[in-house]
Amino acid sequence: MALSDAKAGKRNEEGIFAVVGILKQRFGERFQTGESFRAQHAHTTTYIPAQLPDGVLFAETADDVKVAVKVCAEQKVPVIGFGTGSSLEGQVNAPNGGVSIDFSRMNRVLEVNAEDLDCTVEPGITREELNVYLRDTGLFFPIDPGANASIGGMASTRASGTNAVRYGTMKDNVLSVTAVTANGNEIRTARRARKSSAGYDLTRLFVGAEGTLGILTSVTLRLQGIPQKIAGGACSFPTVKAACDAVIMTIQMGIPVARIELLDDVQMRACNAYSGLIYAESPTLFLEFHGSDETVELQSAQFAEIAAECGGGEFLWTANAEERNKLWKARHDAYWACRALAPGLAALSTDVCVPISRLADCVAETQADIQEHGLLAPIVGHAGDGNFHVLLLFDDKTAQGVAVAENFVVRLNQRALAMDGTCTGEHGIGQGKMAFLEQELGGAVDLMRQVKQALDPDNIFNPGKIFHLV
Q: What part of residues 405-464 is at the interface with its own copies (CB under 8 A)? A: 417, 420-429, 433, 436-437, 440-448, 450-455
Beta bridge partners of 260: 287
Residue closest to 23 by CA, chosen among 56, 61, 60, 62? 56
| 117 vs 469 by CB, closer to its own copies | 117
Please list every residue from 113 through 132 that binds its own copies, using CB under 8 A.
113-118
Answer yes or no whether residue 208 interacts with its own copies by CB under 8 A.
yes
On whether the CB atoms of residues 213 and 461 are closer than 8 A, the answer is: yes
Q: Please give the residues from 359 up to 388 whose contact with its own copies meets the rule CB under 8 A.
A: 385-387
Q: Which is nearer to its own copies, 55 or 146 (CB)?
A: 146
For its own copies, the binding residue among 24, 26, 108, 204 (CB under 8 A) is 204
Do 96 and 11 meet the contact criterion of CB atoms below 8 Å apart? yes
Of 270 and 285, CB closest to its own copies: 285
The phi and psi torsions of 426 (rounded to 5 degrees) equal: -155, -10
Q: Which of 191, 329, 373, 397 binds its own copies (CB under 8 A)?
A: 191
Selected from 4, 148, 252, 398, the binder of its own copies by CB under 8 A is: 252
H or E element at residue 185: none
- Using the rule CB under 8 A, give the single segment among 19-27, 78-86, 274-282, 290-298 that binds its own copies: 290-298
**Whose Cβ is closer to its own copies: residue 227's or residue 313's?**
227
Measuring CA to CA, which residue among 158, 162, 167 is closest to residue 216? 158
Q: Find the part of the chain contacting its own copies (CB under 8 A) among 8-16, 64-72, 122-130, 183-191.
A: 183-191
User: x/- binding map, residues 296-315, to its own copies, per CB under 8 A?
Assistant: --x-----------------
> How far is residue 96's CA from residue 231's CA, in Å, rounded to a whole number?
49
Report the residue number, 279 or 317, with the smaller CB distance to its own copies. 317
Measured from the CB of residue 383, what is the shortest distance to its own copies in angstroms?
A: 11
Range 223-242, binding its own copies (CB under 8 A): 224-225, 227
| Closest-CA residue to 53 (of 45, 43, 63, 65) | 43
Minimum CB–partner distance for residue 449 and its own copies (Å): 9
Separation of alpha carbons 96 and 78, rounded Å: 7
Query: Which listed range, 38-46, 184-192, 235-243, 303-311, lies at the site for its own copies (CB under 8 A)?
Result: 184-192
| Stretch in the footprint of its own copies (CB under 8 A) among 18-26, 185-193, 276-284, 328-336 | 185-193
Question: What is the layout of strands, in order, in the sheet containing 229-236?
Answer: 316-318, 229-236, 284-291, 257-263, 379-382, 387-394, 346-353
Q: Which residues is 186 bridged to in the sheet?
A: 180
**CB contact at 8 A, 343 and 374:** no
Q: How many CA atoms lie within 13 A of 230 on its CB side?
A: 16
Write down the least CB distance from residue 112 to its own copies, Å: 12
